[in-house]
Structures are given as structure tokens and as C-alpha cells.
């Protein structure tokens, strides 16, 4: 993979793979079927927040660039080995395709840190749980199967991204909130929130804490911004995006560094 593609993803409309649509017809139809069952007392409601898109790969790519700016190009060279960066980008979208928790759409993409639950009110699956599982699998498999390790790291970054979305961290769906409106607005305006450096304290926090603790911390921050994200006016959504999309990029850089240290590449 040419490194220029990472720059194109971070600051343009390039995607690795086919990307993921926001709300497919299938998901909308299934959502309304689930809603009808919920009203009749059959099940609890969940939703798939598909994302377009660009946001997951935007976060994944900017994390690499931030790490290079802060720590030097030599460190990120390891992320390009065996087509690593390419695979990470592609698999940062994959959970919206093949980890959809049907029929309870994308329950495992939500995590309310105050309750430790997904949209169903269940403690499993959650976005933080999957963030931990995929990251752990990436570390465990790195020495024997790098391709699979890169895939798992990409999936982990997907859930890191979800944990930084106020609606995902508050169990708010498109049927009871502006969930889709907010995500589409952030995607369209993502270039306004590009950062080029991560504070040393974030790197240190990632080194000193478990993946679970890191994921929980991000979700607490995202959850605290839900009152802004719910407003649907640009001023309020700007506040939410500033406080969360930038955080996602910082912690992605921190997670990449943590990963490289744990697999003893640096």
C-alpha cells in the first residue's frame, strides 16, 4: 500500500474497500419490524448505525498520521508491514457489515458507561467488550498471523470510534433521537476536526491502563456530550464533535503505540 493513500483517506474521500452506507433499506425495514415487536412487548429495541462511509477510516488513518508526527516515521513503518495499514483501514468498516447482532441490530456497537450495557440493557455484547476482544486478538495473533492481527486491530479501531460517538455511548437510536442526522453531519464536516498531535498524557494513559479502562474513559467523555449531540443545530453538534471526534483521533494514535509496544515492535 502506498502511504499516500493513508493521507488521502485522512484528508479526502478515498476509502479502502467498498465502505458502508449509513442506513440501508434492509436495516430500516428490520428496524421498524423490531420497533413493532418492542411495542407489543416482544423484544427490546436496538439499531444499526451504519456509517458511511468515511468516519471510521478517517479516524483510523489520522491515528497513524498523528503517531508519525509525534513519534517519528520509524515507528509507523511497522504499521505498513505486510500491508498492515491497508488491512486496518478496510477492517475498520467491517463490523458494520458482519458484526450486526441480528435480529437485534448492532446491539454490540453500543455501550453506556454509567450502566455498562448495550441498547438492550444487557452487559453483553457491548462496544467496549468488543473493543477489548478484538484488540486482544490482534496482540495475541501478531507473531503467528500478521494478516489476521491487522484485521483484528482494524475491528478494534471500529469499536474505539463507536465508543467516541455520543449516541453510541448513550444508547440513543435513530428512532428516539437524531442519531443518523448527527453521524451524517459529522461525516460531512470531519475535515474541520482533523488534529495533528496527541498530548503526551494520552499516550501515557494508554500505556498505563487496560483496554477496558481506556474504552470506558472514552465512552464517559462521549456520553457527557450527548446533550449537545441531540440538538441538531450546527453550533451544538460542533461542540459535541470537537469534544469527541478529536478525542477519537488522539486515542487511536495512543492505541497504535500501545499495540506496537505490546507486540514488541518498538
Per-residue pLDDT tens over the stretch 237-258: 999 999 999 999 999 999 999 9
DSSP tag of 209: S
- Is the pLDDT at 31 greater than 80? The verdict is no
Give residue 175's Cα distance to chain centre: 21
Mean pLDDT of 216-230: 99
Count of domains observed in the chain: 1
Angle at 71 between CA 66 and CA 77, to 5 degrees: 85
Q: pTM here?
A: 0.90
Kindly state whether residue 129 falls inside one of the protein's structural domains.
Answer: yes
- Is the pLDDT at 147 greater than 90? The verdict is yes
Say how far apart CA 104 and CA 47 lie, in whole Å: 7
Q: Which domain holds residue 64?
A: 3-14+49-263
Angle at 64 between CA 92 and CA 67, to 5 degrees: 140
Kindly state whether residue 207 falls inside one of the protein's structural domains.
Answer: yes
Give residue 59's Cα distance to chain centre: 8
Of residues 15 and 229, more confidence is placed in 229
24's CB contacts (< 8 A; 6+ apart) are 50
Say how far apart CA 256 and CA 62 lie, in whole Å: 11
* CB-CB neighbours of 9 under 10 Å: 24
pLDDT band of 185, cuts 50, 70, 90: very high
Structural contact between residues 169 and 111, judged by C-beta atoms closer than 8 angstroms = yes
DSSP secondary structure string for all residues of 169-180: TTT--TTTSSHH
Return the CATH number at 188. Answer: 1.10.575.10
Kindly state whether residue 22 falls inside one of the protein's structural domains.
Answer: no
Amino acid at each position: 500500500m502506498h502511504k499516500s493513500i493513508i493521507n488521502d483517506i485522512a484528508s479526502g474521500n478515498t476509502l479502502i474497500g467498498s465502505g458502508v452506507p449509513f442506513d440501508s433499506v434492509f436495516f430500516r425495514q428490520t428496524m421498524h419490524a423490531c420497533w413493532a415487536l418492542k411495542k407489543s412487548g416482544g423484544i427490546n429495541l436496538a439499531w444499526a448505525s451504519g456509517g458511511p462511509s468515511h468516519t471510521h477510516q478517517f479516524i483510523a488513518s489520522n491515528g497513524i498520521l498523528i503517531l508519525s508526527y509525534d513519534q517519528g516515521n520509524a515507528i509507523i513503518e511497522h504499521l505498513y508491514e505486510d500491508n498492515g495499514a491497508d488491512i486496518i483501514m478496510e477492517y475498520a468498516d467491517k463490523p458494520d457489515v458482519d458484526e450486526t447482532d441480528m435480529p437485534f441490530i448492532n446491539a454490540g456497537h453500543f455501550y453506556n458507561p454509567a450502566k455498562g450495557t448495550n441498547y438492550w440493557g444487557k452487559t453483553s455484547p457491548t462496544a467496549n467488550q468488543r473493543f477489548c476482544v478484538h484488540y486482544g486478538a490482534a496482540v495475541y495473533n501478531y507473531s503467528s498471523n500478521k494478516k489476521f492481527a491487522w484485521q483484528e486491530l482494524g475491528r478494534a479501531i471500529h469499536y474505539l470510534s463507536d465508543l467516541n460517538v455520543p449516541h453510541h455511548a448513550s444508547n440513543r437510536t435513530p428512532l428516539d433521537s437524531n442519531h443518523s442526522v448527527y453521524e451524517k453531519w459529522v461525516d460531512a464536516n470531519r475535515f474541520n476536526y482533523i488534529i495533528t498531535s496527541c498530548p503526551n498524557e494520552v499516550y501515557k494513559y494508554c500505556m498505563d491502563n487496560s483496554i477496558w479502562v481506556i474504552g470506558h474513559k472514552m465512552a464517559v467523555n462521549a456520553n457527557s456530550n450527548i446533550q449537545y449531540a441531540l440538538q441538531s443545530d450546527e453550533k451544538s453538534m460542533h461542540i459535541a464533535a470537537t469534544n469527541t471526534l478529536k478525542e477519537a483521533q488522539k486515542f487511536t494514535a495512543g492505541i497504535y503505540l500501545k499495540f506496537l509496544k505490546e507486540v514488541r515492535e518498538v
